[in-house]
Amino acid sequence: MVSMAISIQEASHGADGRYPEGGLAFPHRDLTGISHLARHEILYLLDEAEQWLALNRQRHKRAELLSGLTIINAFFENSTRTLLSFEIAGKRLGADVVNMHAATSSVKKGETLIDTAMTLNAMRADAIVIRHASSGAVQLIADKVDCPVLNAGDGSHEHPTQALLDALTIRQALGLPRQSDLNGLRITICGDILHSRVARSNILALTALGAVVNVCAPPALMPAEIEAMGVTPFHDFDAALEGADVVMMLRLQQERMSGQFIPSPREYRHLYGLTLDRFGKLPAGVLVMHPGPMNRGIEIDSQVADHPTRSLITRQVESGVAIRMACLDVLTRRARAVPGWEDLGSAEA
């Protein structure tokens, strides 16, 4: 454990030759999306997460970097996996973590989002993690509070830590070292592109890292003019799979749909599901991802999701804790007066 403690301290406070010095490596107070991040800032967070992957695989999984700090997980939308991941991340860094569920909050009694933001701010949290069903709600709260805010998903807008953990998972699976981008890697994202904040954040992150991204969906679930995001759209899944190195399946966002977007789950599976038969026709090295939770038997077959060597789904969960530890560490460095991370004044997410 001594060597691990030393490596954590060096990684947290040292400067890498590829990145700007100190807080200039990530000059944002908040992490509300991928869209405002430069390529080197994305890589910086991925590299910072590497140390936490190593720590989390040890028997003793706790650091004390955030000892004495309070993190509030304010989830206005139901979540199990993401909330648990953020809670574990905060506690493994030594922080006091408080979970606020919308079902038991004053939001259900008619309190406005602004009132909630002001209440959270008055509690003097050191970081707030927010998930909300409305796009833009996280930024609205970030504008009203004095501490770093992390977006855990807002409507159909963004889910930045999911994109970061997916990029980290791919790097790990391919054995790529720190500072590596994904230049030239071909990634196909298939599913409900229209409603998916995961798709949007992944497109932004993966293209920024140099990946070639195809997106595939039924016409009703494909955003108009998505080519402007630097991707190639397909309605034919088999055509979209040609040449892919990684296939990322998405859950149908039925809770965000109003109206009939697909004829039936059975037909959707036939045309857009990663079935065992379709998976068997892919080259042996193609990797499979899914952000979860999965609709098994619709967008992905169980035999594919549970493949022992080519499915990265459980590794995505592991990477999620490490990425969220990295984000909480980096965003609280100014409050912790880490040398080189003094308030830069003009930098804002």
67 conformational bin, left if phi > 0, alpha if psi -120 to 50, beta if neither:
beta
How many Cα atoms are found within 13 Å in the side-chain-facing hemisphere of 335? 21
Model confidence at 197: pLDDT above 90: yes
Dist. CA 178–CA 171, nearest whole Å: 9
- Give 257-309 pLDDT, tens digit per residue: 445 777 788 899 999 999 999 999 999 999 999 999 999 999 999 999 999 99
Compute the mean pLDDT over every residue in the chain, rounded to the nearest whole number: 90
Q: How confident is the model at residue 113 (pLDDT cuts 50, 70, 90)?
A: confident
- Give 225-250 pLDDT, tens digit per residue: 999 999 999 999 999 999 999 999 99
Average pLDDT over residues 217-232: 95
- Write down the CATH number for the domain with range 160-316: 3.40.50.1370
Please state the domain extents for the chain.
Answer: 160-316
| The pLDDT value given to residue 98 | 96
Retrieve residue 103's tokens: 């079902």
Dist. CA 217–CA 235, nearest whole Å: 5
| The pLDDT value given to residue 168 | 98
- Give 6-62 pLDDT, tens digit per residue: 234 333 433 345 799 999 999 999 999 999 999 999 999 999 999 999 999 999 999
Model confidence at 104: pLDDT above 60: no
For the entire predicted model, the pTM comes to: 0.92
| The pLDDT value given to residue 15 | 39
